[in-house]
Structure 1
Amino acid sequence: MTIAAASSSPPPKGDLRRFSNEAWETVARTLSERLGARFQIGDSVREQHGHTTTWIPNQPPDGVAFAASTDEVAFIVRTCAAHDVPVIPFGVGTSLEGHVNAPEGGVSVDLSHMNQVLAINAHDFDCVVQPGVTRKQLNVLLRDQGLFFPIDPGADATLGGMAATRASGTNAVRYGTMKNMIISVEAVLPNGSIVRTGQRARKSSAGYDLTSLLIGSEGTLGIITELTVRLFGIPEAVGSVAASFGTIAEAAEAVIATMQYGVPVARIELLDPLTVRAMNDYSNLNFDEAPLLLVEFHGSETAVAEHQELFKAIVEDHGGNTVPSANSPEERTRIWQARHDAYWASLTLRPGAKGLSTDICVPISQLAACIGKAQKRAEDEGFIAPIVGHVGDGNFHVLPLIDMDNEDEIKRARSYVGWLNEMAIEAGGTCTGEHGIGQGKSAYLRRELGDAVDVMGAIKQALDPQNIMNPGKVLPA
């Protein structure tokens, strides 16, 4: 890479680029000298590091720096800060709200080379990892020690990205979200300084909870470069039940009853008939094309059997029918992989369309009503909009399939997503249960949190007065 190449063909930018060509040329030269081939400015690699997984337009960075250590991340941040060039952290790019776009240009800091498990403390049920470690990679290493990391957002995301977006997924109803899993982090702040937010102790009353501040900050307050995370023992037994219902309302009411009875489910997923149809075709399954609950239990052999029977009774009380349990590891894996592939399966319902993936989360007492409203509104708009949800904690996803060449359809789809957000907030819920705010939902943050947004802005200003750390995300413009 030559600096002449870097400056002779300016890449496309967002609308708000604030630094000069001269500043960029200096940054590019400095990073190239330090990183060599690990600093790249080619069109394809830049586009890969803009947002590519949703309908949000791709806004690529000016360059991509593949960092190999915390010190290198700090060097990159200091270099960019000296010239007012934005910095955008990047894991594997699976986020869904434009988190990795570069609307003001700048440098994407790719952490995929920082993918080492640094320590496994089996007796303490924790481990120390670099941010580029993926959840599947970690669980392969933990399996021989009888341990696992439970947060499962579906995609094989990096733990750094999962922490930055406060991810959760199918196991959240039993094990919690990323905020429950992280003991401490190391991070590079916007001025290039390196901080560690805690030790390995399971609890602490020492000062402000900076760990929680950085979890879910979406790269706007710092770049996470190391994590100490909690682990769990692999359960003695795992059991599954699948149940079909006549209506979404019956299925949702069965979920509410399951939670109110205190049945300790590990996963409880709701799929609407559209999703079931797509999943059957895509993953070669044969569930009835009706509202479907997929439920999993963890524990001892006796406890799992008891919980399965109790759940089957609840299903029967709510007009549902259970299908044979998938208790072999192979069959469970096949079914849950199909559930994780539901996004891609749903795209086959309207070939050529884009999926406008969105999520909301409501109190479980509001779940049945909100899903019903979301379904009816989509039908009234004429959208094909499959619904799936981690419904044990009131979180569900709607995926309108949109023709991106139809401006009227795009406008109506955006209006529909806005209506979903407002409905969730009105019901005492949130505009995002796990996707995060990013670019896509920043307009709804103040509607949900009011003046607390100003407190967030004050924290952002204190830590990042230049606003170089992932600008244009989370806080409203």
Structure 2
Amino acid sequence: MLSLASSLPGFTTSSNPSLLQQHGKGESHHPSAPPCLVCSPADTSQVQALVRLCGEHGVPVVPHGAGTSLEGHLSHLDPRPSISLSLNNLAALASLSVPSRTATAGAGLTRLSLNEQLRGTGLHFSVDPGADASLGGMAACAASGTSAVRYGTMRDAVRAMTVVTAGGEQVNTGSLASKSAAGYDLNALYMGSEGTLGVITELTLNLHPLPSHVSSAVTVFPSLSAASKSVVDMLLLGVPLAKVEILDRSAIRAFNAYAANVPDLREAPTLFLEFHGISEEELAAQVAMAKDACEGHGSSEFEFAAGERERRELWAARHGTYYASVRLRPGAGGVVTDACVPLEHLAEVIEETAADIEREQIVGTVFGHAGDGNFHCILPVREDDPADYLAKIEAFNGRLIERTLAKGGTCSGEHGVGSGKMLYLKQQYNAPTVGVMRAVKKALDPKNIMNPGKIFSWDE
């Protein structure tokens, strides 16, 4: 690996042990394995040179952005010595078109940094996965988040990409135009490929106008089923929800214990809503329709606010969900599950999941993006937890996925597959379907150097 580093004049490289450990784990609870070297190219041409060199020597390459992935994407599992390709130096905002509402940026730029640079333009980048993830990583994992119900996911947000293939060639997907019927949709191919088909180095992103008027609401329900059904009604009525999040009573209970200086919330299933509009009158109409739909399913304590500070206070429990959940077991980290079901089945599946947590005496909370059927459990675990407790959590997650797939859902709504959900991908699709994916991988990466050991196995 040292000889490889010496072949990279002008590159920033490091074999610092702490940096290597950092680049082999991310935020995942899955087993980690470090690279042998971290390389930080300065531009796409250097990425090309590096990938070509790695191809010649059979050295696996794992792209690395902000390190916030949750399914073991960054672990260097291949037995061959490997490198971590850091994209942190590719973090410039290359161009901005206000009329076209697009921005072109390096893959290492994070979403919060992008929005900071968009201040004063009247535009914003809407995809919010919670963490300050890199744009390239968000595309690689097909990320989404709280605003997907209105603005869509990364699949909707990316207009074009620059990708370096396993052979070191530069591929340009999509175009700057708002639509195209020219050829295969390579955007869709590389979106969600998790670094297994190439390295995303630059993206052209769709932006949205900042809403001139924003309002938030919080309302409590007698059951998770009632809360979920009210969301279906709001969407059928055409209420243009910007965000709609659901927390079960365990999540509210965790927040009450976590936020000592905030008045306790009622420990019941709760919806957190946000509305965007062009006038106060439009917002008032949206809120009124939402309130009627919620009250039709037994909601109470419908509170809403338009001021920024008041809105932040209303949403405090949702924004604090992760930290409140891991504090249920001091010193723990969080296992975050990820599943998505058709909206008609959200009520049933999320209630069965909450009941499963309680029945198995697992410490954890349930919350979700109620507008698109995507929900998560946060299960705090400690390094010294006994093996039987960890096995109980693994079995619980397996049942959650089985429950999800039985209703036509997916094993991952937004976190990706990585190494952590390879088994569940095989359960979701039949063998020929996974075989097509494997054939694409082998055609584009015949030496299996691009993030090997992720999504599915090379041979089976």
TM over 0.5: yes
Q: Please state how far the C-alpha of 1:145 moved relative to its aligned partner.
A: 1.0
1:7 is aligned to: none
Moved over 6 A (4+): none
Q: Please state how far the C-alpha of 1:324 moved relative to its aligned partner.
A: 2.8
Q: Does 1:271 align with 2:247?
A: yes
2:273 is aligned to: 295
Structure 1 length as normaliser, TM-score? 0.91
AA aligned to 2:238 is G
AA aligned to 1:453 is V
Larger deviation, residues 366-375 vs 300-309: 300-309
2:66 is aligned to: 92
Q: Please state whether the residue corresponding to 1:204 is helix, strand or coil.
A: coil
1:247 is aligned to: 223
Q: Deviations over 1:423-445 (max 9, x none)?
A: 11110100110011001101111
Mapping for residues 448-459 of structure 1, pairs under 5 Å: 448-450=428-430, 451-459=432-440
Q: Deviations over 1:30-51 (max 9, x none)?
A: 23x331xx20011100111111
1:388 is aligned to: 367
1:310 is aligned to: 289
Normalized per residue, which structure has more helix? Answer: 1
Counterpart-to-counterpart distance in 2, 1:142 and 1:34:
32
Task: Tell whether the 8 Å contact from 2:291 to 2:302 is kept in structure 1 after alignment.
Answer: no
1:475 is aligned to: 456
AA aligned to 1:293 is L
Mapping for residues 57-68 of structure 1, pairs under 5 Å: 57-68=31-42
AA aligned to 1:140 is E
Mapping for residues 61-76 of structure 1, pairs under 5 Å: 61-76=35-50
Q: Does 1:151 align with 2:127?
A: yes
Counterpart-to-counterpart distance in 1, 2:316 and 2:97:
29
AA aligned to 1:306 is A
Mapping for residues 321-470 of structure 1, pairs under 5 Å: 321-333=300-312, 335-336=314-315, 339-404=318-383, 405-450=385-430, 451-470=432-451
Counterpart-to-counterpart distance in 1, 2:377 and 2:262:
22
Larger deviation, residues 334-343 vs 205-214: 334-343
Q: Does 1:29 align with 2:9?
A: no
Larger deviation, residues 186-195 vs 244-253: 244-253
Structure 2 length as normaliser, TM-score? 0.95
Q: Please state how far the C-alpha of 1:246 moved relative to its aligned partner.
A: 2.2
Larger deviation, residues 338-347 vs 179-188: 338-347
Q: Please state how far the C-alpha of 1:415 moved relative to its aligned partner.
A: 1.2
Task: Tell whether the 8 Å contact from 2:326 to 2:379 is kept in structure 1 after alignment.
Answer: no
Q: Please state how far the C-alpha of 1:29 moved relative to its aligned partner.
A: 2.4
Q: Deviations over 1:331-388 (max 9, x none)?
A: 3345556534421221001113332211100011101100111111111211012011
AA aligned to 1:470 is N
Larger deviation, residues 115-124 vs 71-80: 71-80
AA aligned to 1:416 is F
Q: Please state how far the C-alpha of 1:403 moved relative to its aligned partner.
A: 4.1
Task: Tell whether the 8 Å contact from 2:163 to 2:198 is kept in structure 1 after alignment.
Answer: yes
Larger deviation, residues 444-453 vs 172-181: 444-453
Q: Please state whether the residue corresponding to 1:388 is helix, strand or coil.
A: strand
Counterpart-to-counterpart distance in 2, 1:156 and 1:354:
18
Q: Structure 2: give runs of 5+ residues left out of the alignment.
A: none
Larger deviation, residues 343-352 vs 218-227: 343-352
AA aligned to 1:120 is L
Counterpart-to-counterpart distance in 2, 1:190 and 1:365:
41
Counterpart-to-counterpart distance in 2, 1:129 and 1:175:
19
Task: Tell whether the 8 Å contact from 1:241 to 1:322 is kept in structure 2 after alignment.
Answer: no
Counterpart-to-counterpart distance in 2, 1:335 and 1:103:
43
Q: Please state whether the residue corresponding to 1:179 is helix, strand or coil.
A: helix
Task: Tell whether the 8 Å contact from 1:383 to 1:401 is kept in structure 2 after alignment.
Answer: no
AA aligned to 1:123 is P
Q: Please state whether the residue corresponding to 1:410 is helix, strand or coil.
A: helix
Counterpart-to-counterpart distance in 2, 1:99 and 1:304:
41
Cα root mean square deviation, aligned? 1.5
Q: Please state how far the C-alpha of 1:132 moved relative to its aligned partner.
A: 1.1
Q: Please state whether the residue corresponding to 1:290 is helix, strand or coil.
A: coil
Change beyond 3 A, Cα 1:40–1:442: same
Q: Deviations over 1:293-347 (max 9, x none)?
A: 1000111222211010111111211111134313112333455565344212210
Larger deviation, residues 323-332 vs 39-48: 323-332
Q: Please state whether the residue corresponding to 1:322 is helix, strand or coil.
A: strand
Counterpart-to-counterpart distance in 2, 1:207 and 1:338:
46
1:180 is aligned to: 156
Change beyond 3 A, Cα 1:143–1:334: farther
Q: Please state whether the residue corresponding to 1:401 is helix, strand or coil.
A: strand
1:221 is aligned to: 197
Task: Tell whether the 8 Å contact from 2:333 to 2:380 is kept in structure 1 after alignment.
Answer: yes
Q: Please state how far the C-alpha of 1:278 moved relative to its aligned partner.
A: 2.7
Q: Please state whether the residue corresponding to 1:417 is helix, strand or coil.
A: helix
2:19 is aligned to: 45
AA aligned to 1:29 is S
Task: Tell whether the 8 Å contact from 1:164 to 1:218 is kept in structure 2 after alignment.
Answer: yes
* Percent of residue pairs bearing the same amino acid type: 42
